[in-house]
Structures are given as C-alpha cells and as structure tokens.
Structure 1
Amino acid sequence: MKHESIEINSGLLIVLTLAVISIGGLVEIVPLFHIKDTVEDVGGVRPYTPLELRGRDIYVSEGCYACHSQMIRPFRDEMLRYGHYSLAAESQYDHPFQWGSKRTGPDLARVGGKYSNEWQTQHLADPQSLVPESIMPGYSWLLDTKLDYSQIEDRMIALKRTGVPYSQSQEEYDANVEKFGKAVADELHVSNAKQSLEAQAAAEDWDGKPDQITEMDALVAYLQMLGTMVDFSKYEDGHFNQFR
C-alpha cells in the first residue's frame, strides 16, 4: 500500500525519483575523482596539429558526427570490419569526443590512411560517384571555400585551458619536446600555429589544389589522421602495459 501511495502522489514520486537518480549518479561519478589515472598512458597519442584542429572544427560544424561514430566496440564483428577497438586514450584531447552511438555511415575511428587523399576529396565532394548506394550529401563547396585560420591561436589557447597540452611558454614547449618529440612540439606551440598550418597544408596535396588552403584541405587532413597515432602491433593479448 505504501508503494501505491507514492505512485499516486506525483509530487512525492518526482522527488523520490530525483533522489534515486542523484544517488546513482554520485555513485558513478565520485569514485572517478579518487582514481589517480582514468585514462591509460598510450604511446603515440598527441593533440591535433593546427590544420587537423581546423579540420575537426569543420567535421563538427557540418554535423558529420550525426551519421559517423568514432568508436569501435570490443566485439569480434566490429574489429573484423573496422580494426582494433577504440581506446579512451585516443580521445583524451577531444572536446567533445566523437564516440557516438548511431551509425548511418561506417565508423571512422580507423579511416586514416585507408583511402588516398584524392578518394577522400572526391567522396566528400560527390559521394555517389564512388559509392552509388550512399545517402551521404555532397560537400563540394569545401573545395572552393578558403580556410579561415585567423583565430587558430585562440582556438588552441581555449583547448589548452581544458587540459590539452598546447604550449605557450618555453617550459611547456620543453615538456612537449620530451613527451612528443621536437617536430610535434613545434606544431603544438601556439606562436607557431599559422606557420605550422601552412606548412602541413603545403607538404601534401590534400585536396588537389596546391595553390590555396581550403576547408577541404583541413577536413581531409583530419580524416587521414584518425586512428593512425597508436601502433597496435605493440599489443600482446590486448594488454595496455605493452605501451609502458
């Protein structure tokens, strides 16, 4: 009878429901603050370069995450199709991460290097020309839209405040040199952002238009990086300690 009295009293039911949800949430969240490391230290994972970062911005702004996840689940069928299951460490510099729970198109966690730059550009501009059954819309305007990277330093500084190790001081730069190597540390230094972006765009013909830096350049650079940072050949029986 007491259970029935709670169910017919909407105000009391709401209060008790909120209380149960709050307790459950605290039980799940509070322990995380007492765990020294919630993300494994996996070698090879680095923050995005300025060009990749702008590409990711475009990926998010165009809503690509609505149809493509970046999360390979630890199931045999998933790994046979897409590759090694996703690690939390691979998304540690993502704000927000792109794991997702719905796929209209394939998962993109390991798409980097799977296709050529030319294929990626053509697929983004006119998906049906390569995959006739695709329902993906075309993004041909990215080829004609000049990439705006005038605020790239501000974007990196904003991410730095969330914990992404972009460097501004000599001390931070030196720490990145020790952790990622000099070449990567140079790309992660905020004062080098525009120069680094232009150099990476010029180093490879991402969109087939070497005379200008377009939004297609940035998006293809981002896609070609996905899933390429970690050397999974170092795994033995799936243990993370092979990276230590």
Structure 2
Amino acid sequence: MFGFHYRLERSAIGLVAFIVLVASIGGLIEIAPLFTIDETVEKAEDMRVYTPLEVAGRNIYIREGCYACHSQMIRTLRDEVDRYGPYSLAVESSYDHPQLWGSKRTGPDLARLGNKYSDDWHVTHLNNPRDLVPQSVMPAYRWLLRDQLRTDDLGDHLRALRAVGVPYSDDQIANATRDAYGQANPDSPEASGVAERYGADTNIRAFDGNQGPLTDMDALVAYLQVLGNLTQVAHTTQQAEVE
C-alpha cells in the first residue's frame, strides 16, 4: 500500500488523476441522495409559510446568535423524544433558509417550543433570563423591548424567500408590512388580513404585551411561538407509528 503511494507521488499526472477520481467518488456519494429527495422528504398538506412578523423574528433570532446555543432538531433517541416531543422531520425545515438545526446545546432544543410557554414568559425570559431561571447563563436581551421593528422591507424578504422556493403569493408579498402590524395588533383592521392569508390558526396577539408600534420583541416572540407548529405532520406520523 505504501509502495503504491510512494510511486504515485512521483507521477504528477497520476497523482492528479487519482485525486480527481477519489473526489468524484465522494462527490457522487453526496449528490446522489438529492435525486431521490422527493421520495425521502415527507409530505405535509397542512404546512404553512412563516408570516412576515415571524420572518422578521427569525432574522432577529439569527442576528442575535440564538442558534449557537439552541438547536432546532430533535433526534430519534428515546430520551430526546421524551423530553422535547416528536423527533424532527425534514419537511418541517423545508421553508427554512438557512436551516437552524444547530450543532450544540448550551440551552434546550427549541424545535417544539411553540405555544409551550406564554408570551409573558418569553418576554420576561428574554428581558432577563435569571428572573425565571436563576442558574441561566443566557445573556439578557433588554433592547428587544425598546427597539422598534423595521417593517418597510419585509416584502423584499418574502420576495427573496420565494426566489429559493418558499411559496409566497403576490398578495402576501404586497401586504407584508400590513400583515406584520396586524398580527401583533389584534384589534386593528389589518388583523383580519393575516388570518385570511396565513390561516385561522395563526397567532394574532400583542406578543410583547402592548398593542401599537411593533418592537423587536414582538417579532422574536412571534417566531418562537410558531416553532414546531407550521405543520402537525410529525405528531400524526409518529402517533401512527406507535399505534
């Protein structure tokens, strides 16, 4: 084996050809599964897209680096399923660009966090985690309640997501700014349009506790409250497996 390697190193053309061959095999192994992606990714008829406010919250989640300490992928291990809920399915991340599965957990997995805690709990936790969990090492994000959310560019964000495959309609893109405001202001005329465009089960409420101008807290809490709730396919699929 070593003799072959030494001889190969003496031939520049042979070494290059061997590198190309090995790289091609590795590339084929990585690329081949993509040809069967339609067969391997589950179908979810009830899957909905993120609302503009949830998209803004996801952007804040990425901006603040939350993904570095919290994963969004429950593995099939028994202890994870018992603690967090049904294991994650590929289809649940089909509208995530980029995906936020994560690689480590300083804090708990958030894949099924949606509506597990109240909005008030999230606001308090983000404002100062130690008010709820004294031993927490999570930093406080007090500025989220102070900073006003930018909404005038949300249509562009939805348009960019549509370019990579998320099925936003022209109507959803055109009303992105109005829908963001309406989702966090349930008593406003804009609120009805959110339910019409994104479904009656969409969370529509004052996420930061105050109706009126949107804050970054509104957006981030709206995003956290929908995690694991874009589709119920994981719950129904795994319940069928048990039965």
TM-score, length-scaled by structure 1: 0.82
Residue of structure 1 in register with 2:73 after alignment: 71
Residue of structure 2 in register with 1:132 after alignment: 134
Q: Conserved in 1, the CA contact under 8 Å of 2:48 and 2:231?
A: no
Residues 160-184 of structure 1: per-residue CA shift (max 9 Å, x gap) = 000100012xxxx6xxxxxxxxxxx
Structure 1 residue 19, shift from structure 2 partner: 4.1
Residue of structure 2 in register with 1:55 after alignment: 57
Residue of structure 2 in register with 1:238 after alignment: 241
Residue of structure 1 in register with 2:164 after alignment: 162
Distance 1:57 1:13 in 2: 46
Instruction: Map residues 67-216 of structure 1 onto 2, 5 A cutoff.
Output: 67-168=69-170, 189-203=172-186, 204-216=205-217
Letter in 2 for 1:111: L
Change in CA separation of 1:27 and 1:143 when aligned onto 2, cut-off 3 Å = same
Distance 2:109 2:20 in 1: 35
> Percent sequence identity over matched residues?
51
Distance 1:7 1:67 in 2: 46
Structure 1 residue 16, shift from structure 2 partner: 4.2
Residues 131-187 of structure 1: per-residue CA shift (max 9 Å, x gap) = 11111111110100000011011111111000100012xxxx6xxxxxxxxxxxxxx
Letter in 1 for 2:241: G
3-state SS in 2 of match to 1:120 = helix
Distance 2:8 2:210 in 1: 66
Residue of structure 2 in register with 1:223 after alignment: 224
Structure 1 residue 230, shift from structure 2 partner: 2.9
Runs of 5+ unmatched residues, structure 2: 187-204
3-state SS in 2 of match to 1:69 = coil
Runs of 5+ unmatched residues, structure 1: 174-188, 240-244
Structure 1 residue 37, shift from structure 2 partner: 4.0
Q: Conserved in 2, the CA contact under 8 Å of 1:68 and 1:103?
A: yes
Distance 1:66 1:15 in 2: 40
Change in CA separation of 1:29 and 1:211 when aligned onto 2, cut-off 3 Å = same
Structure 1 residue 2, shift from structure 2 partner: 2.3
3-state SS in 1 of match to 2:98 = coil
Letter in 2 for 1:207: D
Structure 1 residue 46, shift from structure 2 partner: 1.2
Change in CA separation of 1:125 and 1:19 when aligned onto 2, cut-off 3 Å = farther
3-state SS in 1 of match to 2:185 = helix
Kindly report the root-mean-square deviation, in angstroms, between the aligned alpha carbons of the 2 structures: 2.5
Q: Conserved in 1, the CA contact under 8 Å of 2:49 and 2:230?
A: no
Distance 1:34 1:114 in 2: 35
Q: Conserved in 1, the CA contact under 8 Å of 2:149 and 2:216?
A: yes
Q: Conserved in 2, the CA contact under 8 Å of 1:118 and 1:207?
A: yes
Change in CA separation of 1:213 and 1:28 when aligned onto 2, cut-off 3 Å = same
Change in CA separation of 1:89 and 1:18 when aligned onto 2, cut-off 3 Å = same
Structure 1 residue 122, shift from structure 2 partner: 0.7
Say how many residue pairs are matched: 221
